[in-house]
Amino acid sequence: MSTIVTQAANEATPADRIGLEDLLRAARQLARETRGLAESTAGVVERELAMALTVAESLRERLVSEQALKEARAHPLMARLRTDAHRAVDLGMDAIATSYVFGVDFVENFVDRPRPPLEAQRAG
């Protein structure tokens, strides 16, 4: 199978190379548009989450007294759970952010990496 693909690549005409460049250009455009869509979607999700958190905080302020909240936060078990939950959220967000940045860099480097002309590939 690979000899067939290699043979087909070696027999590529200038018209085939133009088609390959068009395909790479389309892949670059698709990668950029997909990234833009993903970032727009994440922005909407973040704004909605921030709004929901603001409403929840407002509700908490109306339903729970400052003294009750202070006592609940000072409870040893609850304080440790709160700290651990914050650490877990931080770790999760680090994993998501790192994966996102790595994924974007990988895709952008793949589609934007200059490739030698087909003749140079045959010679090497």
State pLDDT tens for residues 54-63.
999 999 999 9
Contact 92/20 with Cβ under 8 angstroms? no
The predicted model gives 93-108 an average pLDDT of 89
pLDDT recorded at residue 45: 95
> Where do runs of H (alpha helix) occur along 11-75?
14-63, 66-74
Tokens in use for 1?
Answer: 């199978």
* pTM check: above 0.95: no
| Number of H-type helices and E-type strands within the chain | 5, 0
User: Letter for the amino acid at 10?
Assistant: N
Q: CA dist 123 to 10, 24, 59, Å?
A: 10, 22, 71
- Measured between alpha carbons, how far is 86 from 35 in angstroms, rounded to an integer? 29
What tens digit of pLDDT does each residue of 18-42 get?
Answer: 677 788 788 888 888 888 898 999 9
Q: CA dist 117 to 21, 75, 109, Å?
A: 10, 68, 18
Lowest mean pLDDT: which of 8-22, 63-77, 93-107? 8-22
